[in-house]
Amino acid sequence: MTIQITINDDLSRFSDYVSVKDISSDGKVVKEEYLMTVDQLVSVLQRSEYSPANEPSIPVQSPILPDNGFKHVWREQGQTQDVYTFVPAQQYDIRVHDTFIENVGFPSMIFCYQLDDSKITNLRVVAVKEKDMSEISENTEIYRFPFSNVQRSEVCMGANPFPKIESVRELKTLHNFFITIPFTNEWFDANSNNSDVYDLRELFNSVQGQAFPTEWLSSEGITFNQFFRY
């Protein structure tokens, strides 16, 4: 077992959080990741130094992730959690204002759900060029979501809150709930893509019945780990 502890340069208080990861021996797979304060980290290290060798450890377990889930992070001493899912590029039937448009091409996307118990309290979405979840890494380049209802990756659900979930595995298809919400001009920024199409309805029509062109994606200029920093 390899434990990786990440302490940021801007750490200033013992109540600040550090990242602790249990990674595979080859360094490619993060098995578990959670946050703890500096005080908690010091306490754990002190116990590991002076406790008897046969003292049982207390594991920090992640829940069973959905099939398209690739990362899980406990936050605030285990009170809330972030779950990351990957959704490959595909076509969806959507509504823009009051108009129904079939088979609209969407790019591959990463969704980050923040959960407080069974309630989804926040949702973020970004686009990526990877075609399969197995290609996602800490160095994956992050692109802006090219349509509306999203600002700086933060999703606006309007008056359409997510339903409560019984299991984290239900997040596998929860992105469909976001996509079925009517797309409006709210938070639509033509600079969120490189299509040179400045009307939202026209943008959807331009990718109807075809894959979203990856060259239209607008880069955030940073990697996955830099964008979703803890």
Same domain, 48 and 96: no
Same domain, 4 and 76: no
Domains: count for the chain = 2
pLDDT digits (tens, 9 = 90+) for 137-178: 999 999 999 999 999 999 998 888 888 899 999 999 999 999
- Residues of the domain holding 21: 1-61
Same domain, 111 and 124: yes
Boundary of a domain, candidates 11, 30, 61: 61
CB 108 within 8 A of CB 87: yes
Same domain, 160 and 198: yes
Please name the residues in contact with 80: beta carbons below 8 A apart, sequence gap of 6 or more: 74, 114, 115, 116, 121
Same domain, 77 and 176: yes
Local mean pLDDT, 10-residue blocks, the chain (230 residues): 68 68 67 70 64 57 91 84 97 96 98 93 97 96 97 91 91 96 92 95 97 98 94
Same domain, 119 and 48: no
